[in-house]
Amino acid sequence: DSQYSLRPQTLDEFIGQGRVKKQLRIHIEAAKSRGQALAHILFVSPPGLGKTTLARIVANEMGSSFKSAVGPAMERLDIATLLTNLEERAIFFIDEIHRMKGYVQESMYPAMEDYKIDLPIGQGPAADIITVPLAHFTLVGATTREGLLGGPFRDRFGNRIHLDYYSPEEIQIAINRLSERLQPSVKIEEDAEYELARRSRGTMRIAENMLRKVRDYATVESDGIITYEIAQEALDFFEIDELGLDDNDRTYLRTMIEKFRGRAGLKAMAVAVSEDERTIEEVYEPYLIKLGFLTLTPMGRVATDAAYQHLGYPTPEYQSTLF
């Protein structure tokens, strides 16, 4: 399947995030009517909620070209090369922008503010600086961790936009559309769509992957049609539980409960589950926090009573005294 054609191309096709779409429509219409570039945009959300998709849509709706880069890999000179080659009103998208090195972030200040960059010419004591004018472009940054951006860098984004988890109803619409667009199309019953949607952790990317996995299951274990029963069976088979938690999520909570009596620091958890700290903070924890299974305290991460109950542990007595 062409990954790209499955993505919505316009704001109208983009499901949910109503307030965000309204905001973007206003900025896009205003910029177009003035014939100007959009103000720089920072999209903030947990992974898989559509930051990259929205950035492409913004370019499409502006009628602008789209160039992209990934934060951690960028050096000053890479950025300079990309910036000096942008077209007027281009959208320049940088993913994981919080992982861009500090001095590279700083080198972008004049580009963002005045559409110019300072480039070193030559080396050593004889080195000189020339200032190069740039096209009026729009920087669109995506981050899972707004707090890790330097303050002055963050403040240079005129529009900071937070995306929220999707409702099951919104995800169901996306699953329905995707089932028709996949080649060959997927036959899925309405209550099965809702079941997948409900267990997708509010995340479009998870829903999409889940539909593909369950389609495979239905093809091999049944007649290819995803009924409610087949959906249930497949999700059990793939060990995705009633709330959409997978094996990684459950291992994380079990480890916290069994090894650390329900309270642990980030480093200790990272070592215990063999994951890097970033993945834990950016991928595992946000949805567990949203579910109310985890709280972050100055004394460490704490598994809540609800987490104990969900995993079938007796609620610990000592915990109630902590809050």
Provide the angle, in degrees to the nearest 10, between the axes of the packed helices 266-273 and 247-260: 120
Closer of 49 and 90 to ligand ADE (Cβ): 49
Q: Is the peptide bond before 184 cis (omega within 30 degrees of 0)?
A: yes
Determine which one of 56, 95, 138, 198 is catalytic.
95
165 secondary structure, DSSP code = P
Minimum CB separation from ligand ADE for residue 237, in Å?
Answer: 25
Minimum CB separation from ligand ADE for residue 33, in Å?
Answer: 26
Minimum CB separation from ligand ADE for residue 286, in Å?
Answer: 17
Question: Which residues, 182 to 221, sit near ligand ADE by CB under 6 A?
Answer: 204
- End-to-end alpha-carbon separation of the chain, Å? 50
Interatomic CA distance for residues 140 and 52, integer angstroms: 9
Q: Is 8 in the site for ligand ADE (CB under 6 A)?
A: yes
Q: Are 172 and 197 in contact (CB under 8 A)?
A: yes
Interatomic CA distance for residues 69 and 71, integer angstroms: 7
Determine which one of 7, 52, 246, 251 is catalytic.
52
Q: For the chain, give the longest Cα–Cα distance.
A: 74
Closer of 16 and 286 to ligand ADE (Cβ): 16
Residue 279 a catalytic site member: no
Q: Report the amino acid identity of residue 288.
A: L
Determine which one of 7, 205, 254, 290 is catalytic.
205
Q: Are 216 and 188 in contact (CB under 8 A)?
A: no
Secondary structure class of 233 (helix, strand, coil): helix
Beta 300-303 vs 294-297: how paired, if at all?
antiparallel
Write the interaction track for ligand ADE spanning residues 38-77; mark x where CB under 6 A is met and - where it is not: ------------x--x------------------------
Interatomic CA distance for residues 192 and 194, integer angstroms: 5
Residue 315 a catalytic site member: no
Residue 304 a catalytic site member: no
| Of 13-21, 101-109, 113-121, 135-143: span binding ligand ADE (CB under 6 A) | 13-21
| Of 9-17, 137-145, 262-270, 288-296: span binding ligand ADE (CB under 6 A) | 9-17
Residue 267 a catalytic site member: no
Q: Are 58 and 137 in contact (CB under 8 A)?
A: no
Q: Which of 16, 71, 202, 286 binds ligand ADE (CB under 6 A)?
A: 16
Beta 91-95 vs 138-143: how paired, if at all?
parallel
Residue 51 a catalytic site member: yes
Closer of 8 and 168 to ligand ADE (Cβ): 8
Question: Which residues, 156 to 175, sit near ligand ADE by CB under 6 A?
Answer: 174
**Which parts of this chain interact with ligand ADE (CB under 6 A)?**
7-8, 14-16, 50, 53, 174, 204
Residues marked as catalytic: 51-52, 95, 144, 205
